[in-house]
Chain A
Amino acid sequence: MDAMSQPRRTALQRILGLRDFGVLVAALLIAAFFSIATPVFLTSYNLFNLLRQTSQLGIISMAMTLLIVSGEFDLSVGAIYAVTGVVTGILVNKLGMSIWVSASAGMVAGLALGYLNGLLIATTRINSFIATLSTMMVFRGLALVLSQAQPISLQLSFFMDLFGRAELFGVVPVPIVWMLGWGVAMYLLLHRTAFGVKVFATGDNREAADLAGIKTMRVKRVGFLITALAAGISAVISLSFLKTVTPTQGTGLELEAIAASVIGGTAMSGGVGSILGTFLGTFIMAEVRTGLVLLGTDAYIQDAFVGLVIALAVIINVRLSSRRK
């Protein structure tokens, strides 16, 4: 009907139009600020340290992004993260099983909980925010009961090196490698596969997606499995690095993961989001925290600053998306 009137956009316009570009600029600006304010910030030691600390959050955030894009939330990831760790610790210490078998069992337990989340939402159709708020408490209770609320210490082994303690080429801590690997996998899944298209379609216009023959509920259930898998991987990295698991680990991780997604440009209403953006969002949160530490800021004020960054990011996002409409 309508003849093509709009000219093709130039490369520069395309790059500037990308949502992720804005997040990248923000990340660089914050980095520039801290680099000037404190000389220690821009050292490879600090940057690697920063990335290593954020790797567990990063893995979970990127999975959370996929789930949010599909139109759901998972508030129970932090609790699943704890259950995975606790199950692994108990199998190793109480039953004397090998760390490999125990960690695998821990991750399977986590996946089972993710499956439960999906099942609960598919069968009852309750809002996932409420559904996973309740399973968060149930799963956390499970971790506390299993561990008798005691931390569990583990022995050093090759497993620990592989997943948490070694440094690739003597400089790159392995958690960063795992995070990048997971990031690439999530990027391909969300942005390059037919499944990814279904995730976006489901979150953007569920009715249209259903009419196109997409099984939208199945897409969401897979999303819950993926967040649970991410929580499991993160838990393994954590127990490898710390040589210990606690039933209270990962408290608040779910909200940080949602925050990182939002800073990275994911829309809470679903249908919009990117893995790269979320990676940068995680990075921004880590930057702000580390930078404030290096500046010698009172530890108690850091959360307030992170809160401000989230508010700022969301305001900018809303502005940008309303201008494009």
Chain B
Amino acid sequence: MSIDLSFLTRVAPTLAEGLSTTILLAVPAILLSATWGIVVVMGLLSRFRVVADIARGYVEVVRNTPVLVQMFFIFFGSGFAGYPLSGFTAGLLALVLQNGAYMAEIYRGGIRGVSHRLAEAGLALGLTPRRSFGLIVLPIAIRNVIPPLSNQGVLIIKDTSLVATISVAELTFQARLLADRTAAVFEIFFTLALFYLVLTAIFSGCMRLLERRLRLA
């Protein structure tokens, strides 16, 4: 075991060069997905049949195709079309498009999950439907969706590893670089896994803190 540990200190720095890129990619991906998801869910719930259909079509296509294929599509497609996007940008775009759809579904579930009796209670008190929604349903829905959103965030963090395939120098890319050059593959991937575990643990921990602060009485 002691042999491994000493090597760890030589592996970690190289991997850590990719850490900033991973975080730089994950944070905007999460925030933009969450935002884009709001737009999408408004489309899904729209009164206009056309808008709802487009939104539904988009969600279905994105959810039934792998995010890797979407990344390739955007990355190679943008180059071919004359406006080449960097691997980072293409990856970010693909992550947002994919996870925005999932976030939208989570929002939708969260809103429906709030018993309509509570909204009715609001109406009975004399609130307009819009205010009943905004003051009663929405706050409860927001609290309800934090756990599944937190899950989705973890998935986003893990999916950043995919941009390694389009030459973005994040964590996994760095690990592969090392693995191609040295024989200490166990140490490399063990450390890599450790990095991701720590990242996701920190993220989950923050989300749980948020949950606690917003907790329903």
A and B: partners? no
**Chain A: residues with CB nearer than 8 A to chain B?**
none
**Chain B: residues with CB nearer than 8 A to chain A?**
none
